[in-house]
Each structure stands twice: as C-alpha cells, then as structure tokens.
Amino acid sequence: MTVYLGENLKKLRAEKELTQEALANLLGISGQAVSKWERGESYPDITLLPAIAALFGVSVDSLLGVDKSIREQEIQAEMDCYFQLNHAGDFSQAKEVIKRAVSEFPGDFRLLVRLMEAIIIDENTSDDGAMSEYSQVKSIYESIQNYCVDDSIRMWSKRLICTVYKRLQNVKDSGVTSEALTEIIAQMPSMRNSCDYISTYILAPGKEHDDACRTAIDELVYLLCGVMVNYCYYDDRFTPEYKIGVMESQNKILDGLYPCGDYGKNYIQTIYRFGHLGHLYHEIGNDKKALENLSKCAELAKKYDALPEVSQRTSPLFAGMTFNKANTPKSHSEAMSQRIKRLMLEKYPLSAEFKGSENFKRIIESLC
C-alpha cells in the first residue's frame, strides 16, 4: 500500500498556517519527528493518526492518501488470512499476520481490535507473560477508547480488556483491581439493549426480521447455556444432582429448538455439556447414565469434526440458514474428537476402575 502521509501532512499544515514546531506542540511530540514524517523518513505511531486526522478535519484514509476501495480489499485479504489461521489453531502465526496488517494499514480500528484479540489468544500464561500482554493490550485499548467512534468496536475492546483484567486481578503488583474491572463492565450495554434483541421487534416483518430472530435465538441460547455453566458448574455450593438437573434442562431446550441436531453456534457447548453430565453421573454412582452421556459426547464430537466448513441448517426454525464452523467460539486448535478424548482420559474426574471398563474403552476407541 502506497502512503502519501508526508506530502498530505505538509499540505494540510500549510493550509492551517501551522509551523512544524506548532504542530509538534499540539501533538505533544518533537518538531524533529514532524520533519521526518514530512520527508517520508518515518511515520507517526498508529495511535497518533486519529488525533492528527481530527486536528485537520479529515479522515485517516484521506490523511494517508489511500484509495479506499483498494484499501478495503487489501484489509479484507489480511483479515481472511487471520481468520483461517485462527480457525486452524495457529494462533501465533495469526497474531503475526494481524500485526503486519496493523503496520500496513495504520489507524484502522477493525485491525487494532483484532490485534488485541490475537495477543490475548496467544497469551503467555505465566505472570510475567500476562503482564507483558497487559501492557500491549492496554495501549491498544486506550487508543480505541480515545479515538474510535464505532461503538461496536469500542464495546468489543471493553470485553477483551475485561478478560485480561480477570486474569491479572490476583497477580501481585499488577495494578489491576476488581473495582477497575467492575467499572468497565458497568459501561457496557445490558442484554436488553443489544442489537440482537432490539432487531427482533424493531424490524418490519419479512426475511430480514426472520433472520434477525433466528440469529438472536442462537445467540440467546448460547448465552443462557454459558451463563448457567459459569454460575453453577464450577461452584461447589451446588450439588452434583442440582448441576445435572440444570444441564438436563438445557438439553430439553436444545432438543426443542434443534430437533435435527444442527446446533449452530451452540454445537461445541452441547458437546461439552454431555461430557460434564457424564462425569457428574459417575460422581453420584450412576455409571449407566455416565456412559450414555459420554457416548453422546463422543458421537457429537465426531459429527462436528465431519461437518463441512459451511453447512445447511435443517431444523424447522432455522431451515434455509447456513452454519459456518469458523464462527463457532473455540479456544483450542485440536479437533473436537481429540479434545474430548483428552478430557475424558485426563481432565474429567473419572475413577481408574471406570476408565478401565470395556464400555469406556470403546468410547475412547471411537474417538481415535
């Protein structure tokens, strides 16, 4: 991408009758830096571009002298590459791709928020690594909050920074407090004010309204199941029997909405839920039900892996829509069958005697 920032900056500065020193003072930088920009020897930090553009009353694209249509095509190509690498589980390479894109297309907040996401996904789980991640992500977050006018990107960056704050709350000397996390959360819209919900009753009857309703159902079921798991599955205040009841109620909801088993974005959550039910039934001594649920978990994992990247929905409520696996929330690079195999063998609290049974071994063999 050819950038004409130096020429444009010099022209805009002259129109405003600003000296290099005066512009530098307004931006809080040195006059030497402005001089280098105009000679094309260096470029401003990406976080400064929105401020410079705003100062002269132009867009960042105009400041850079970029053809917008060509720029959009090139940005989309970089995003497609990033999505493909993420979907394949190559998170480190995905991060490098988006870093390169941010450097190539400075000031594009769509890329910046993706860089936030990429850094977090590829995080180093040590305390030092988390702190390093925090400093990188916080700088991008502040730039988005200060200069981006797209609310969807602003809210997305808030959600991302919250995941980092959660990780660092208990890290000594991190400077991150629960109060800071709560303050950011309070700035975000409630579910009732989300576009997914509002569109279901604002749009006029027709295909657009139908698609909005079906998309909202998928999203709301995903949120409902996720919140119920977050609330009680990991909390020892709730008995295994109660947790089983909660998850069985979720199965009933999904059986009604997705009788053909085309769970859409809820597919992976459903796989995990049957796995959770398996070990919970084992915990209360009902190994028959444990095996049934673990078998169902394995069956769905294999079906998910076998799905094409894009498939047609078949349940009556969603007929005519497509399901794109790339849009399914996923935090690992393994095939689902291998992921489930590892969880059953290494993570789920199943006794050695149970794992030594022929029925359990057959389930594991089916995942190979």
Q: Are residues 312 and 282 in the same domain?
A: yes
CA–CA distance, 124 with 194 (Å, rounded to integer)? 32
- Judge if 159 and 230 occupy the same domain: no
Q: Are 110 and 86 found together in one domain?
A: yes
* The domain boundary residue, chosen from 45, 64, 83: 64
**In Å, how far from its chain's centre is CA 202?**
27
Tell me 149's DSSP state. Answer: -
Do 177 and 206 have their domain in common?
A: no
Same domain? 226 vs 255: yes
Please, what's the b/e burial string for 55-73 (b: 16 or more CB within 10 A of its CB; e: otherwise)? bbeeebbebbebeeeebee
Instruction: Specify whether 215 is located in the same domain as 337.
Output: yes
Q: Clarify whether residues 107 and 161 are in a common domain.
A: yes
Tokens representing 186 are 């309070």
Read off the amino acid at residue 97: V
Do 198 and 181 sit in the same domain of this protein?
Answer: no
Question: Is 246 found in the same domain as 143?
Answer: no
Residue-wise pLDDT tens for the chain (368 aa)? Answer: 556 788 888 888 888 888 888 888 888 888 888 888 888 888 888 778 888 888 888 888 778 876 666 778 888 899 889 888 887 778 889 899 999 999 888 778 999 999 999 888 876 556 677 777 888 888 899 989 988 888 889 999 999 999 888 888 877 777 888 888 899 999 998 888 888 889 998 999 898 999 999 999 999 999 999 999 889 998 889 999 999 999 999 999 999 999 999 999 899 999 999 999 999 999 999 999 999 999 999 999 999 999 998 999 999 999 889 998 877 766 566 789 999 999 999 999 999 999 999 999 999 999 98
- 158: CATH: 1.25.40.10
d(CA 237, CA 365): 35
**Strand partners of residue 323:** 311
CATH code where residue 23 lies: 1.10.260.40
How many domains are contained in the chain? Answer: 3
Give the domain range for residue 163.
68-188
Q: Cβ distance 144 to 160 under 8 Å?
A: no
CB 8 within 8 A of CB 63: yes
Q: What are the two backbone dihedrals, phi and then psi, of residue 324, each rounded to the nearest 5 degrees? A: -105, 115
Q: Tell me: do 211 and 297 sit in the same domain.
A: yes
Residue indicated by tokens 């159902």: 217
